[in-house]
Amino acid sequence: MKKKQEKDNFTEALEALKNDPDIRVMRQFKQHTVSNTFNHVCHVARMSHKIEKKLHVKVDEKSLLRGAVLHDYYLYDFRKHPMSAYRHGTSHAGTALKNAEEKFNLNETEKNIIYSHMWPLNLTHIPRCREAWIVTLADKICAFEEMVLHLNFSEG
Q: What is the pLDDT of residues 62-92, one digit of tens each?
A: 999 999 999 999 988 777 777 776 776 677 8
User: Is the pLDDT at 137 greater than 90, yes or no?
Assistant: yes
Q: What is the pLDDT of residues 10-68, one digit of tens each?
A: 889 999 999 999 999 998 887 766 789 999 999 999 999 999 999 999 999 999 999 99
pLDDT at 153: 66
Domains of the chain: 2-147 (1.10.3210)
The helix/strand count (H/E) of the chain reads as: 7, 2
CA distance 33 to 36: 8
CA distance 6 to 25: 28
User: Is the pLDDT at 138 greater than 90, yes or no?
Assistant: yes
Averaged pLDDT for residues 109-120: 97
For 25-31, which contacts have Cβ atoms below 8 Å and span 24 or more sequence positions? 25/75, 26/72, 26/73, 26/75, 28/77, 29/75, 29/76, 29/77, 30/77, 30/79, 31/72, 31/146
Going by C-alpha positions, the residue among 86, 85, 90, 74 that lies closest to residue 123 is 90
pLDDT at 75: 85
- Please work out, in degrees rounded to the nearest 5, the angle formed at the alpha carbon of residue 28 by the alpha carbons of 107 and 60: 20
CA distance 59 to 36: 27
pLDDT at 52: 96
CA 156 to chain centroid, in Å, comes to: 17
pLDDT at 31: 74
CA distance 141 to 155: 18
DSSP secondary structure of 53-64? HHHT----HHHH
pLDDT at 6: 61
pLDDT at 150: 72
The CA distances from residue 85 to 3, 82, 142, in Å, are: 40, 10, 18
pLDDT at 39: 92
User: Is the pLDDT at 131 greater than 80, yes or no?
Assistant: yes
User: Is the pLDDT at 9 greater than 80, yes or no?
Assistant: yes
